[in-house]
Amino acid sequence: MSEAATVTHGYTPGLRITDRALIRRLRRLPLPGEIHVAVGDEVRADRLVGSTQLPGNVVNVNVAHELSMTPEDVLDYIIVTEGDEVETRQIIAESKSFWGLFHTIARSPISGTIETISEITGQVLIRGAPIQVQIDAYIDGTVVEVHGNEAVMIETKAALAQGILGVGGEAHGSLRVLCEGPEQSCGAELIEGDCDGCILIGGGRVTLQALEAAREAGAVAVVTGAIDDRDLDSFVGEPLGVAITGQEELGLSLVLTEGFGDTPMRRRTFELLAERDGRRASVNGATQIRAGVIRPEVVVPEPGATWGAMDEGEMHGLAVGSPVRLIRPPTFGELAVIEELPEALTQIATEAKVRVARVRLERTGEVITVPRANMEIIEE
């Protein structure tokens, strides 16, 4: 067996934290509909940019059963045709027998349109009223593309901080910094006064009580370093089994920049957001940690910015001198700098032979050996 079998790859989630990003977000309707903006329009995050109607829910009425007859006979007694509009309780089929003495009827349980009438099954499908869907711009920016009657692209120059995991969907509001530094835990005592429409910026671990207080005070999102797994489960209402999120209806979106436990927000993220205290921003908690990874994000538009944006997705490999964060116990969350990258496979405490790095811990200056798989590059 070749040595290649034991090669491990370093993990670099490539979270972007930058004050110069060119953000482009496609706003797509689930079905073609109407687009309400044109290329060149300046839009705010809450501006409706498109709307459509989804076909309504379908309800079936088993007419053969209701009229106590075989499906083949149903057509003779149906008094509506495909495409007809019907009201709730409207009669759609009736039969009379014994010279009209016995009268059986079938009614529509909803208002809607007759979709199909089947002589094979004797059932009538009725489609309810269309469901209105509207999408907003999500970020303050400019409409740069319109894709027919289905989608628009919004573009803005902005500061961007991606998190590692979030819950809840899109929100927009103004940033309000709660913590004095990235290490400070985010407890309920920090939530003071009216937070209506605010995106609250914490630092270290947020508690369940703080999230509930934030929601109560009208905040739309909380961005912080970490949370205890049990608090997250309580907040979401069920155990989070897989990291595919964004559909939860919580009334408050949450973006974690680091993960679980007592991990402070990395300083660069905290400073980037703290410097923009009070500014308008957009947040999306949607996360997918699978193929086609999606990260939660905080976007703070920079209206009128003239700088050139850094390339999106610019990534660097592990190199001597690279600042890294250690992401596995017993040194989870420690910041370090790579001192050496030995080529040969090295046996670690579990007896596994893996590629390692020698790193100097920022906090203590100690040099330790860590599997390369257990560190992530801190992108500047």
Partner 1 sequence: MSEHQALRSILATDCGSTTTKAILIELIDGEYRLRVRGEAPTTVEAPYEDVTVGVLNAVREVEELSGRILLREGEIIRPQQGNEGVDAYVSTSSAGGGLQVMVVGLVRSMTAESAERAALGAGAIVMDVVALDDGRRDYERIERMRELRPDMILISGGTDGGEVRKVVEMAELVAAANPQARLGVDYELPVIFAGNEDAREPVTEALERATQLTVVENLRPSMEEENLGPARGEIQDLFLEHVMAQAPGYPKLMGWTDADIMPTPAAVGALIEAVAERDGINVVGVDIGGATTDVFSVFGSVFNRTVSANLGMSYSISNVLAEAGLDNILRWVAEHPDPRRLGNDIRNKMIRPTTIPQQLVGLMVEHGVAREALRLAFEQHRMLASELKGVQRQRDISDAFGAAGAETLVDMMALDLIVGSGGVLSHAPRRRQAALMMIDSFEPQGVTRLAVDSIFMMPQLGVLSTISERAATEVFYRDCLIPLGTCIAPVGTRRPGDPCVRLTVRGPEGGEEIEVPVGELKLIELEEDERAQVTVEPTRAFDAGEGPGRTVEAEVRGGVVGLIIDARGRPLALPEDDAERVAAIRRWERALEVYPREPVGEGADL
Q: For binding to partner 1 (CB under 8 A), which residues are involved?
A: 1-9, 11, 13, 57-60, 71, 115-116, 118, 120-123, 125, 127-128, 164-165, 228-230, 232, 239-243, 259-261, 289-293, 313, 327-332, 346-354, 356, 368-371, 373-374, 376
Handedness of CA 278, 232, 244, 53 (dihedral sign): negative
Give the shortest CB-370-to-partner 1 separation in angstroms. 7
User: How far from 211 is each of 186, 208, 263, 337, CA to CA, in Å?
Assistant: 9, 5, 17, 34
Give the shortest CB-314-to-partner 1 separation in angstroms. 11
Give the shortest CB-67-to-partner 1 separation in angstroms. 15
Q: Which is nearer to partner 1, 101 or 120 (CB)?
A: 120
Q: Which is nearer to partner 1, 242 or 319 (CB)?
A: 242
Q: Where are the alpha helices (DSSP H) in 237-277?
A: 267-274
Burial 167-181 (b: 16+ CB within 10 A, else e): bbbbbbbbbbbbbee
Give the shortest CB-127-to-partner 1 separation in angstroms. 8
Distance CA 252, CA 249 (A): 8
Give the shortest CB-50-to-partner 1 separation in angstroms. 17
Geometric angle at alpha carbon 242, from 27 and 287, rounded to 5°: 25
Q: Which is nearer to partner 1, 310 or 373 (CB)?
A: 373
Q: Which is nearer to partner 1, 290 or 363 (CB)?
A: 290
Distance CA 175, CA 165 (A): 19
Give the shortest CB-376-to-partner 1 separation in angstroms. 7
- Give the 3-state DSSP-derived string for 75-118, with helices as H, strands as E and coil as C: CCCECCCCCCEECCCCEEEEEEECCCCEEEEEECCCCEEEEEEC
- Residue 308, sorted as left (phi over 0), alpha (psi -120 to 50) or beta, turns out to be beta
Q: Which is nearer to partner 1, 193 or 241 (CB)?
A: 241
Distance CA 164, CA 254 (A): 11
Give the shortest CB-71-to-partner 1 separation in angstroms. 6
Q: Which is nearer to partner 1, 276 or 325 (CB)?
A: 325
Q: Which is nearer to partner 1, 173 or 245 (CB)?
A: 245
